[in-house]
């Protein structure tokens, strides 16, 4: 795959604080790259440096093989941005907002008209196109925010936490839309601290914390990096301490907790559920429920950094 | 495209339209009801400290001296139909014109009448610090005398037996500070001290354009707003976006001021003079000043868009208040005790400029004031443009 964006050794300092610390990454053409990290981890700062909005202290950034600068107008015309906050003009209607921001890229009125209508259809705002933003719900405003960033059909689109404070219905619509954009050929850089979204969307994920790259790879590759692969929860009463100890000594099991009602077993790769159930059945315990949970990106983050990914 | 959208955006900004257009009109309506209605508009004042120097003598100058003597006699004024129970002027003897001018500078004298009897001409000299009431009294005296002296001359030609009657009535007909007839404005309409309130309101409306100045900055600065970020990331040149945004708002701002001026002239019947070119220049520079001041607030103060707008509006409200928007004698008071405020306060400078434009035959004062504001505008705009040209930020 072609490298469409390359960041090498990026450093950004705010006085004493190092927001981005020797960060390097590449984005391949046509992929959805998830940039995952807690609030304040340096995701947005990295994006803003790539967009040449922020001065940085060290490093190089190239887009399509060319150095990105504030005056790289040819590169800028290929880029679309969906900022974290809803960034539209309250005095203009939905249609006018999209037309205005599309007009920053496309001069031809007829071409613009076509693209604005396509963007409206894409985000499902047809019936609201004469509305002012203040009359839209939070989810619809987010959709408008997206439409303003994609109407000119950019090759590279940056989504900076586009689903913050959005209802589930709108969130699904937004995620489906992003998937559709990729299918149409766009390269997408998606930052979020919602791991489920990134897991659902991204072809490749970069985990960032304190401005440093913690890990990168596909979802499966990231999950395979950690020891824990499964959490088994069994609803069962009266398990004796000696039986809990027996489970603890099973292969792959490295943590067992029992509170008298629920048995929690953390295990590595292997046929763990069968082994645990076998021990309990042998002793005649009546199990009311058995659940097996696969590790999440939060588990990956927790194991790599020692803290939770989601802080809200 | 951008210009048209920024124009729509400015015209649909309800808060701005209210403060720049509706609020001044409401205020002018209140002033009109309060000051300009029937039997309104009288204000009391201290007798004006005046002296007279005769450059040459004639019946014209002799009669003017008599009028001043009558106006300085409280009993004569009380018994006249002027409606005051005190003297209009307090005559002070001076030895020479130089001496009188020095006394004006020392605040010992307020008005010096220079009477050229042969040319039938009266010049009025006042200090820079003269308050509007004093100015109106002086002008009322001179203008009324001129009108009535003409009547007297006509009477001498056509009805000599009535001349004494006319002469006796001259003092009575000097109607100082009466609304609607206190003195003739340069365009032939009448004006009075309350015009100051209206002019101040026009200036206030212009100064509310600090708000579009703040908005212009936020529209294009990537470190201040999301839409600024969008425009910064776009391939459009920042200077083109800045020009569109600024010019659209500037056009709306100037149109609003012209509308206010038309309302002043045709609805509220307050004279605005007939110096059209100077008025246009006054409006263009005044609005440019307030927008550039707003741009500085947008760039250099802290807080979100509304907070920065609030700070800018707060400052201009203070400026407008100190210029006499609510208390017409405040600039005179400040001139006496803290003149630096009047020299630095842009609203006072603009008020004086407009007042002089409408009421003075000489435009020297108008130009001096306008140049001060234009100079400040150039400085503000230069700083703002230098700062706005940056396309990469230290922080977002």
Give the domain ranges of chain A.
3-220, 230-294
Confidence of residue B227 (pLDDT cuts 50, 70, 90): confident
Of A43-47, A177-181, B147-151, the range with the lowest mean pLDDT is B147-151
B236 and B312 co-located in one domain: yes
Nearest to A102 by CA among A133, A80, A85: A80
Residue among A52, A87, A99 minimizing CB distance to B230: A87
B99 and B221 inside one domain: no
Measured in angstroms, the CA of A97 and the nearest CA of chain B are apart by 9
Would you state the pLDDT for residue B43?
A: 54
Residue B368 and residue B240 in one domain:
yes
For residue A11, is pLDDT > 70?
yes
Residue B396 belongs to some domain of the structure? no
A77: pLDDT strictly greater than 50: yes
In terms of pLDDT, which residue wins out, B144 or A201? A201
Tell me which of A47, A52, A55, A70 to substitute to probe the interface with B (most B C-beta atoms closer than 10 Å). Answer: A70
Residue B180 reports pLDDT greater than 60: no
Q: Which residues of B touch A153 (CB under 8 A)?
A: none
B78 found inside a domain? yes
Per cent of chain B over pLDDT 70 is 85
- pLDDT of B189 reads 37
Q: A230-294 has which fold? A: Alpha-Beta Plaits (3.30.70)
- Closest residue of chain B to A146, computed from CA coordinates: B230
Q: Shortest Cα distance from A85 to chain B (angstroms)? A: 7
Residue B43: inside a domain? no
Q: Give residue B88's pLDDT.
A: 85
Domain boundary at B118, B149, B177, which? B177
The better pLDDT of the pair B147, B387 is held by: B387
Which of A165-174, A245-254, B215-224 is predicted with the least confidence, judged by mean pLDDT?
A165-174
Query: According to CATH, what is the number of the domain A3-220?
Result: 3.40.50.300
CA separation for the pair B345, B239 (Å, rounded): 31
Closest-CA distance, A221 to chain B, in angstroms, reads 34
> A159-163, A299-303, B87-91, B197-201 — which is least confidently predicted?
A299-303
DSSP state, B113?
A: E
Indicate if the pLDDT at residue B151 is higher than 90.
Answer: no
Predicted local distance difference test score (pLDDT) of residue B83: 66
If asked whether residues B234 and B378 sit together in one domain, one would say: yes
How many other C-beta atoms are found inside a 10 Å radius of the C-beta of residue B86? 12
pLDDT exceeds 50 at position B239: yes
Select from B230, B237, B306, B390 the residue whose CB has the most chain A CBs within 10 Å, as the one to mutate to test that interface.
Answer: B230
pLDDT of res. B34: 73
Give the strands of the sheet with A187-192, arranged side by side. A79-82, A156-160, A187-192, A32-36, A204-209, A212-217
Q: Using CA atoms, how far apart are residues B248 and B77, in angstroms rounded to an integer?
A: 56
Q: Which residues of B touch A63 (CB under 8 A)?
A: none
Among B349, B354, B325, B356, CA closest to B335: B349
- Mean pLDDT for A246-257 is 88
CA distance A188 to B171: 88
The Cα–Cα gap between B372 and B375 comes to 5
Cα B277 to Cα B283: distance, rounded to the nearest angstrom: 10
Poorest-pLDDT segment among A104-113, B79-88, B226-235: B79-88
| Domain contains B137 | yes
Residue A70 φ then ψ, to 5°: -60, -25
Q: What mean pLDDT is predicted for residues B77-102? A: 82
Give the relative orientation of helices B59-71 and B132-158 as an angle to the nearest 10 degrees.
Answer: 130
For residue B365, give every residue at least 6 positions away whose Cβ sits within 8 Å of its Cβ, in sequence order, or none. Answer: B352, B353, B356
> What's the mean per-residue pLDDT of chain A?
90
Provide the residue range defining the domain that includes B113: 48-177
B317 and B339 fall within a common domain: yes
Q: What is the pLDDT of residue B169?
A: 58
Q: What is the DSSP letter of A54?
A: B
**Could you read off the pLDDT of A59-74 as tens digits, one per residue?**
999 999 999 998 899 9
Higher pLDDT, B153 or B27: B27
Task: For residue range B309-343, list pLDDT tens digits in order.
Answer: 999 999 999 999 998 888 777 887 787 788 889 88
Structure tokens at B239: 């200077």
Say if residue B202 is in the same domain as residue B299: yes
The answer, yes or no, to whether residue A22 has pLDDT greater than 80, is yes
User: What's the domain count of chain B?
Assistant: 2
Q: Which residues of A touch B222 (CB under 8 A)?
A: 53
Which residue intervals of A104-167 are DSSP H helices? 109-123, 138-150
Asked if the Cβ–Cβ distance from A104 to B231 is below 8 Å, we say yes
Q: Quick check: B182 pLDDT over 50?
A: no
- Burial category of A126 from C-beta neighbours within 10 Å (exposed 0-12, middle 13-18, buried 19 and up): exposed
Kindly state whether residue B41 falls inside one of the protein's structural domains: no
Per-residue model confidence as pLDDT tens digits over A120-150: 999 999 999 999 999 998 889 999 999 999 9
Long-range contacts of B82-86 (CB under 8 A, 24+ apart): B82/B171, B82/B172, B82/B174, B82/B175, B82/B176, B83/B42, B83/B178, B84/B44, B84/B176, B86/B47
Kindly state whether residue B393 falls inside one of the protein's structural domains: no
Residue A88 contacts B, CB cutoff 8 Å: yes
pLDDT band at B170 (very low <50, low <70, confident <90, very high): low
* Residue of A18, A100, A113 for testing the chain B interface, max B β-carbons within 10 Å: A100
- pLDDT-wise least confident of A238-252, A268-282, B188-202, B317-331: B188-202
Tokens of B92: 């002070």
Rg (CA), chain A: 24
Highest mean pLDDT among A291-305, B193-207, B275-289: B275-289
The predicted model gives A207-218 an average pLDDT of 92
Please count the other Cβ atoms lying within 10 Å of the Cβ belonging to residue A80: 25
pTM (2 d.p.): 0.74
Over residues B382-393, the mean pLDDT reads 85
Interface of A with B in 40-59 (CB under 8 A): 44-45, 48, 51-55
Mean pLDDT of chain B: 83
CA–CA distance, B198 with B178 (Å, rounded to integer)? 17
pLDDT score of A30? 94
A264 near A213, Cβ under 8 Å?
Answer: no
């Amino acid at each position: 795959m072609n490298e469409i964006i390359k960041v090498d050794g990026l450093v950004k300092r705010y006085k004493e604080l190092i927001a981005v610390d020797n960060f390097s990454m590449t984005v391949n053409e046509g992929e959805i790259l998830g940039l995952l990290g807690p609030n304040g981890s340096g995701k947005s700062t990295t994006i803003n440096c790539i967009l040449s909005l922020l001065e940085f202290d060290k490093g190089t950034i190239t887009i399509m093989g060319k150095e990105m600068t504030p005056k790289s107008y040819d590169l800028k015309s290929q880029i679309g941005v969906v900022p974290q906050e809803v960034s539209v003009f309250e005095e203009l209607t939905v249609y006018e907002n999209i037309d205005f921001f599309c007009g920053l890229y496309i001069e031809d009125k007829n071409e613009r008209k076509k693209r604005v209508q396509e963007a409206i259809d894409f985000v499902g705002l047809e019936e609201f196109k004469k509305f002012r933003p203040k009359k839209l719900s939070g989810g619809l405003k987010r959709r408008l925010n997206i439409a303003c960033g994609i109407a000119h059909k950019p090759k590279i689109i940056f989504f900076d936490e586009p689903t913050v404070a959005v209802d589930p219905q709108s969130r699904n619509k937004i995620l489906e839309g992003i998937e559709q954009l990729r299918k149409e050929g766009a390269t997408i850089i998606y930052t979020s601290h919602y791991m489920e979204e990134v897991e659902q969307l991204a072809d490749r994920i970069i985990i960032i914390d304190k401005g440093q790259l913690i890990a990168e790879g596909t979802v499966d590759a990231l999950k395979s990096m950690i020891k824990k692969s499964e959490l088994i929860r069994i609803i069962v009463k009266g398990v004796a301490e000696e039986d809990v100890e027996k489970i603890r000594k099973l292969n792959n099991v490295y943590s067992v907790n029992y509170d008298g009602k629920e048995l929690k077993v953390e295990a590595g790769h292997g046929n763990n559920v069968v082994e645990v159930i076998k021990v309990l059945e042998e002793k005649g315990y009546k199990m009311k429920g058995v659940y097996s949970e696969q590790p999440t990106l939060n588990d990956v983050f927790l194991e790599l950094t020692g803290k939770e990914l989601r802080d809200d | 495209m951008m210009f048209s959208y920024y124009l729509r955006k400015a015209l649909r900004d309800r808060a701005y339209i209210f403060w720049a257009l509706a609020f001044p009109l409401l205020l002018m309506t209140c002033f009109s009801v309060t000051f300009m209605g029937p039997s309104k508009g009288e204000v009391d004042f201290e007798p004006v400290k005046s002296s007279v120097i005769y450059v040459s003598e004639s019946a014209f100058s002799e009669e003017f001296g008599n009028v001043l003597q009558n106006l300085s006699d409280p009993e004569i004024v009380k018994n006249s139909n002027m409606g005051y129970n005190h003297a209009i002027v307090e005559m002070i003897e001076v030895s020479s014109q130089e001496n009188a001018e020095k006394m004006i500078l020392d605040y010992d004298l307020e008005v010096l009448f220079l009477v050229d009897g042969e040319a039938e001409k009266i010049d009025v000299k006042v200090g820079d610090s003269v308050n509007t009431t004093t100015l109106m009294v002086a002008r009322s005296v001179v203008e009324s005398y001129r009108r009535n002296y003409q009547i007297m001359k006509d009477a001498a030609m056509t009805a000599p037996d009535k001349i004494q009657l006319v002469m006796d009535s001259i003092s009575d007909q000097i109607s100082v500070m009466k609304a609607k007839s206190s003195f003739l404005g340069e365009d032939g309409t009448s004006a009075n001290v309350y015009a100051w309130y209206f002019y101040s309101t026009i200036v206030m409306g212009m100064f509310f354009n600090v708000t579009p100045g703040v908005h212009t900055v936020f529209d294009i600065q990537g470190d201040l707003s999301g839409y600024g970020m969008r425009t910064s990331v776009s391939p459009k040149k920042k200077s083109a976006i800045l020009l569109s945004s600024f010019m659209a708002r500037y056009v709306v701002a100037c149109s609003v001021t012209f509308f206010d001026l038309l309302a002043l002239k045709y609805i509220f019947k307050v004279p605005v003079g007939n110096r059209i070119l100077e008025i246009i220049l006054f409006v263009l520079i005044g609005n440019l000043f307030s927008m550039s001041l707003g741009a500085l607030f947008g760039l250099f103060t802290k807080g979100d868009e509304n907070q920065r707008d609030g700070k800018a509006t707060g400052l201009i409200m203070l400026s407008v208040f100190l210029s006499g928007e609510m208390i017409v004698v405040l600039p005179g008071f400040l001139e006496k005790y803290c003149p630096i405020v009047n020299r630095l306060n842009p609203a006072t400078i603009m008020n004086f400029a407009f007042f002089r434009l409408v009421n003075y035959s000489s435009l020297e004062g108008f130009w001096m004031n306008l140049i001060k504001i234009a100079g400040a505008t150039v400085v503000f705009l230069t700083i703002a443009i230098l700062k706005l040209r940056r396309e990469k930020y230290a922080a977002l």
